[in-house]
Amino acid sequence: MILDDLVKATRKRITLEKKVHPLDELRSQVNVLTLEQEFPFETCLKQPQLTFICEIKKASPSKGQIVKQFDYKKIAHDYERDGVDAISVLTEPKYFQGDLTYLTAVHKEVSLPLLRKDFTIDPYMIYQAKLAGASSILLIVAILTNEQLRCYLKLADQLGLSAIVEAHDETEIQRGLNNGARIIGVNNRNLKDFTVDLTTSQKLREFVPDDILYISESGIQTREDVDQLRHFGVDAVLIGETMMRAKNKKQTLQNLKGES
C-alpha cells in the first residue's frame, strides 16, 4: 500500500536530515522563538462559514505530475489575494515533489495559517514544521500508534501548532479522539486504489462530536461537491489538484464558494 512506501521513504529522509541538523539543534532554535498559543489554524476553522484550505502540490502518487510550472510563491500570493483561508504545503519530496523550503518560503510571503502536509512519523518533523512557519501539522492515524498520536498531539500543543488527525474509518476516528484530537480530517481518497468518494465524509460525520472540527479532504472538484459537503456538516474543505490545475484560480475559487 502507498502509505507503507511513504512511511519508508520518510523514515529514510528524516534519518539523513537528522544527521545534518540534529534534534537538539532544532529544539534550541524553537526555544528562542516566542511560542504563541493562539492556534491560528484552528481559529480560522471556527469561522461560521465553510473554511477553504487550498493546497500547493506539484505531484501526487495518484496523479503523477499535476503541473509543469510550479511557482509556489506566486500560488501562495494568489491564494491569499483570492480569499483562501489557509494553505496546505506538501513537503514530501519523493512522491509529491514537495520540499520543506517551499513551506519556509511561503511563510515569508503570506500571512495565512499554513499546514505542513507530510507524513509525520517522528517528533523531529514537528519541530521542523514549527521552524518552517507552519501553524498546523498532519497526523495520519493509520501510520501511528496510540502512544505516538498522544505524544505528537501534546508536542504540537506545546509548540502552538494545531494538528489535523486524518482518519479513514470509524475506528481511526475513535483512536484520534481518544488520544486528544481537536481536528479530524477525513480523506475521501481510498489510499488502496485511489478512488474518491465524497460520501465518505458524510458517512463518518456522525462519529465526530460537534465540538471537534471536521475537515473533508481530497477529490473536491466542483461547486456541487462543496455544497454537498457543506450540507453534510463539514467545517472545512481541503482542495489540492482542482486549484493547482486551475488557469484562473480566483474564478475557480469563487465558483467553488458559490460566489459567481
Give me the active site residues, please: 55, 57, 117, 166, 187, 217-218
Q: Which of 85, 122, 217, 235 binds ligand LARABZUK (CB under 6 A)?
A: 217
Phi, psi of 242 (to 5 degrees): -60, -45
Q: Which regions of 33-182 does DSSP assign to beta strands (E)?
A: 51-56, 59-60, 64-65, 86-90, 114-117, 136-140, 162-167
Kindly state the smallest distance separating residue 19's Cβ from ligand LARABZUK, in Å. 27
What is the residue whose three cell numbers read 464558494?
A: 257
Is 239 an interacting residue with respect to ligand LARABZUK (CB under 6 A)? yes
Binding mask 178-207 toward ligand LARABZUK (x if CB under 6 A, else -) reads ---------x---x----------------
**Are the C-beta atoms of 154 and 127 separated by less than 8 Å?**
no
The secondary structure element, H or E, covering residue 40 is helix 40-45
Is 220 an interacting residue with respect to ligand LARABZUK (CB under 6 A)? yes
Q: Contacts with ligand LARABZUK in 37-56 (CB under 6 A)?
A: 55
Q: Which regions of 67-206 does DSSP assign to beta strands (E)?
A: 86-90, 114-117, 136-140, 162-167, 183-187
- Among candidate residues 123, 128, 103, the one with its CA nearest the CA of residue 26: 128
Q: Three-state SS for 60?
A: strand
Kindly state the smallest distance separating residue 216's Cβ from ligand LARABZUK, in Å. 9
Is 92 an interacting residue with respect to ligand LARABZUK (CB under 6 A)? no
Is 98 an interacting residue with respect to ligand LARABZUK (CB under 6 A)? no
CB of 122 or CB of 217, closer to ligand LARABZUK: 217
User: Which residue is nearest to ligand LARABZUK, using beta carbons?
Assistant: 240
The secondary structure element, H or E, covering residue 236 is strand 236-239
Window of 7-15, 74-82, 153-161, 235-243 that interacts with ligand LARABZUK by CB under 6 A: 235-243
Q: Which of 10, 60, 97, 120 binds ligand LARABZUK (CB under 6 A)?
A: 60
- Among candidate residues 65, 85, 76, 143, the one with its CA nearest the CA of residue 104: 76
Window of 108-116, 155-163, 224-232, 239-247 that interacts with ligand LARABZUK by CB under 6 A: 239-247
CA dihedral 95, 5, 217, 89 (to 10 degrees): -40
**Are the C-beta atoms of 128 and 102 separated by less than 8 Å?**
no
Positions in the binding site for ligand LARABZUK (CB under 6 A): 2, 55, 57, 60-62, 187, 191, 217-220, 238-242
